[in-house]
Amino acid sequence: AQSVTQLGSHVSVSEGALVLLRCNYSSSVPPYLFWYVQYPNQGLQLLLKYTSAATLVKGINGFEAEFKKSETSFHLTKPSAHMSDAAEYFCAVRASVSSASKIIFGSGTRLSIRP
Amino acid sequence: EAGVAQSPRYKIIEKRQSVAFWCNPISGHATLYWYQQILGQGPKLLIQFQNNGVVDDSQLPKDRFSAERLKGVDSTLKIQPAKLEDSAVYLCASSFSRDRETQYFGPGTRLLVL
């Protein structure tokens, strides 16, 4: 079975500061991992995904995430926050061995940006 | 390329009433998903279709929820009768195939049950 835990339901950073959103996963098989972003009143948009290639994954809007198997983590980072980054962010996991397995989402982290 | 379309965007009903949501996926996408997103939580998969067949409906409350995708294109999700705890955003997503990890989400339907 797969699961994800997002540490911190709300994170607030200043504009220009480092963004760090934490995600830990649990999976009995090698996982595929995802970060999605959700802007107010919109659906989810894929930021980046890890599918067992490079452990450092670069996504859209300057975000990146590093897969650390030893720590079972897939934290999302961005060097310099922008006001437009304010949104809800979801980490998600899927088993890699079965194409029929579902994606399991975390409970989300709301990112606020202070001017 | 047009995205995933959903309607209505908002719906308010009273408990025990019925409601239906419609989704039109991206053209050519064989796999369609319905998710329920309760306030403060991540989306939870309700049902997954591959063309017009059901792949996974293990988390669909079948006593009150039903979904169909008769022609393998658009889909309808129905709740009958609705309960207060069904208040949520219902998201539709599609992907080219179930082997493709990238799912494209629609804007969702926000349901409030009074």
DSSP letter string, A26-79 = EESSPEEEEEEEE-TTS-EEEEEEE-SS-SEEE-GGG-EEEEETTTTEEEEEES
Contact across the interface for A108 and B41, Cβ inside 8 Å: yes
Average pLDDT of chain B? 92
Radius of gyration in angstroms for the set of CA atoms belonging to chain B, rounded to a whole number: 13
| pLDDT score recorded for residue A96 | 66
- Regions in chain B scoring below 70 on pLDDT: 1, 98-101
Nearest-Cα residue of chain B relative to residue A92: B42
pLDDT tens per residue, range A45-90:
999 999 877 899 999 999 999 999 999 999 999 999 999 999 999 9
CA distance A65 to chain B (A): 17
User: Is residue A100 predicted with pLDDT exceeding 70?
Assistant: no
Tell me the chain A residues in contact with residue B41 when contact means C-beta distances shorter than 8 Å. Answer: 107-108
Nearest CB among B40, B56, B105 relative to A43 is that of B105
Which chain B residue shows the shortest CA-CA distance from A90? B42
The pLDDT, as a whole number, for residue B1 is 64
What pLDDT, on the 0 to 100 scale, is given for residue B97?
Answer: 73
In this structure, what token pair is assigned to residue B91? 């998201």
- Please give the residue of chain B at the shortest CA–CA distance from A5: B42
CB-closest option in A42, A99, A105 to B42: A105
| Pairwise CB contact (< 8 Å): A102 & B107 | no
pLDDT at residue A99 tops 60: no
Q: Measure B20 CA to nearest chain A CA, in Å.
A: 19
